[in-house]
Amino acid sequence: MPPAPIAQPAAAPEPTPLLQPAQQPTGADVLAPPPELAGWATVLLAGSGALPWVADLTRWGQVAARLLAPNGWLVLYEGHPLNWIWDPRAETVQFRTARSYFDAQAEPNDDFPARAVERFAPGGTAVPRAWEHQWTLGQIVTAVAAAGLRIERLVEYPAHFWPEFPRVPPAAVARLPHSFLLVARAAGPS
């Protein structure tokens, strides 16, 4: 008796995109989201290196608050502002000679993403300059609170996003905060 034919699996259906691609390139401004997103988010995750690229921290806090639904949560996990003042090329924990924790001026970016932009820019193309803002922890907390959100938690951690201080012994690096978690909540119905 011949073996039974092997059943072939059914072809997978074509996936349906959740979002249709734009017909042409578009720009986006995180400080000016579409009005229809107001009150949309029950949880808004932010951070992971995003805040230094925000030019107006007060407005960012207002936008975050506007996007949250009543009783919605803002969860911000971000690099600690103290990382700006430590010298990433040093073999011990030491200050950068030209930086202060309270520097208010934006600084030109001299590592990532500037180096990646330079590397991938087509030849002969002018490479845009990336500018970072050094917000203090007080400025960040104040921007969130001033936007009407209630601060529920602020925790500092020795962990950081990437090996910023490769020459410093790990035990010395772990003695300082390199990231923080800020959890805030929007007001709800009374």
The CATH classification number of 37-185 equals 3.40.50.150
pLDDT grade for 25, boundaries at 50, 70 and 90 = very low
pTM of the prediction? 0.79
> What is the Cα–Cα distance from 185 to 73, expressed in whole angstroms?
5
Across the chain, mean pLDDT equals: 85
Which amino acid makes up residue 150? R
Tell me how far apart the alpha carbons of residues 18 and 9 are, in angstroms, rounded to a whole number: 26
Taking the alpha carbons at both ends of the chain, their separation in whole angstroms is 77
Average pLDDT over every residue of 141-145: 98
pLDDT tens digits, 55-85: 999 999 999 999 999 999 999 999 999 988 9
How is the chain split into domains, by residue range?
A: 37-185
> From CA 132, how far away is CA 47, in angstroms rounded?
14
Could you give the 3-state DSSP secondary structure of residue 182?
A: strand
Question: Do 66 and 38 touch, CB atoms closer than 8 A?
Answer: yes
Name the token pair of 136: 């203090």
Q: CA 189, CA 177: separation in Å to the nearest integer?
A: 36
66 three-class SS: helix
Comparing 35-39, 59-63, 150-154, the range with the smallest average pLDDT is 35-39
